[in-house]
Amino acid sequence: MFEPLLPLDEALALLRAALPEKGLPRLGADRDDPALDRSAMDGAALRHADGMAPRRILGTLFAGDDPAVFRVGPGEAVRIMTGAALPSGADAVVPVEDLRIEGGQLFLSRPPEPGEAVRPQGSQARSGDELLPEGAPFNAARLGLAAQVGHRIELPPRIQVGIASTGNELGKDPLPYQIRDSNGPMLTALAYRLGADALALPSLADDPETLRQRLSNLGGIQILLTSGGVSMGDKDHLPGVLKELGARILFHKIRLKPGKPMLVAILGDCVILGLPGNPQSAYLNALLFLPVVLARLEGTPERNPWRRGQLVEAVKNPGERPLLQPCTLEGDRMFPLRSKGSGDLITLAKADVCAWIPEGGMEAGETRYIEVV
């Protein structure tokens, strides 16, 4: 029977809507940019009107020198380096390639042009101009611009992401009926790869009291990734405990394979990504949802994780959910791997990407993919 599960895009939209957007303050020019006429080349600053006449060299100006020590008159020039302010009287810079210096005299190989190789005062911006409107997401170039206009903006601290696996079956030296915790280290590595301050927490037994205790003492953790315990089994206590603690459940269950039981909730100041326990599901849902939360909490722009590529052969996908199919990638060509389903970490570990296969499956052809990082 058809279950009206939440499509991925709608789940992502709900998550975005629940988290406020942060942005940078308005950035305005605190002075003309450049603040004075400046040389754009290494060469000689001179008066273009003197044409080809040889010039007497008065000295040299380096970037950072006060240009007031020189005044360029008729028949004179000052050697000048890129970034140095122009001395008064000069209105052009002839680059070194086009001049020759002999016995303190400067000779040109061609006539100078007015304003040549000069960055005029205020040509980039006038004092008071708006350079970036309020609310732009943080990026490195914008931080540089803030510094340029004398505005000190601190780097946003790394977001603290806690990772806790759940399951009574997890053991360090597993008996045949137990398994090792692969999700914990995998999700910790993923959070680290995505730029978070990843903190591996002890794994949690499948009992409501243990979950309650953990969720009631989150310390400074801003995002909690759990794996397991969110589906319909008798020991899947996470949804119930979250409700009991008054968490705001944004959604539970999405239309995606693997990863149907995915749950996202907000408890106090902490965003909880309740990932399914099967390793492919846990990985792929974290890969899809964690970057969105990180971007919102950091105030950085969200990056589109999808690329387009060519699936080289047909992939079946019976049922009502789109499938993320592990593939290797060569150029933009995707080669599907024989995955044994959501528990198959061996195949995921061989994959470069996961291809989006619509419900019902698809023939060879173009589709989107997400990179396995």
**Contact stretch for ligand AMP (CB under 6 A) within 11-19, 108-116, 223-231, 252-260:** 223-231
Q: Cα–Cα distance between 227 and 206 in angstroms, integer?
A: 11
Q: Which two tokens stand for residue 213?
A: 């205790």
Smallest distance, ligand AMP to C-beta of residue 179, A: 5
Smallest distance, ligand AMP to C-beta of residue 348, A: 12
239 near ligand AMP, rule: CB under 6 A:
no
Residue in 277, 291, 309, 326 binding Mg ion, rule: CB under 5 A: 277
From the list 21, 27, 26, the residue with the least C-alpha distance to 298 is 21
87 near Mg ion, rule: CB under 5 A:
no
**Contact stretch for Mg ion (CB under 5 A) within 59-67, 207-215, 237-245, 274-282:** 274-282
Q: Cα–Cα distance between 94 and 45 in angstroms, integer?
A: 7
Q: Cα–Cα distance between 191 and 160 in angstroms, integer?
A: 9
CB of 6 within 8 A of CB of 289?
A: no
**Contact stretch for ligand AMP (CB under 6 A) within 96-104, 127-135, 141-149, 226-234:** 226-234
Residue with Cβ nearer ligand AMP (133 or 233): 233
Q: In the window 140-169, what residues touch Mg ion (CB under 5 A)?
A: 167
Q: Cα–Cα distance between 116 and 230 in angstroms, integer?
A: 68
Q: Cα–Cα distance between 163 and 221 in angstroms, integer?
A: 10
Smallest distance, ligand AMP to C-beta of residue 227, A: 5
**What CA–CA distances, in Å, run from 279 to 16, 165, 208, 344?**
25, 11, 22, 7
**Would you give the binding string for ligand AMP spanning residues 268-287, x where CB under 6 A is met?**
--------xxxx--------
**What CA–CA distances, in Å, run from 78 to 46, 92, 315?**
7, 11, 71
Describe the crossing of helices 279-298 and 8-18 by its angle, rounded to 10 degrees: 40
Residue 154 makes CB contacts below 8 A (sequence gap 6+) with none
Residue with Cβ nearer ligand AMP (39 or 188): 188
Residue with Cβ nearer Mg ion (258 or 277): 277
Single-letter amino acid code for the residue at 56 = R
Residue 276 binding partner per list ligand AMP, Mg ion, none, with a CB distance cut-off of 5 to 8 Å that depends on partner kind: ligand AMP
Residues near ligand AMP (CB under 6 A): 165, 167, 169-170, 179, 181-184, 227-229, 231, 233, 276-279, 343
Residues near Mg ion (CB under 5 A): 167, 228-229, 277
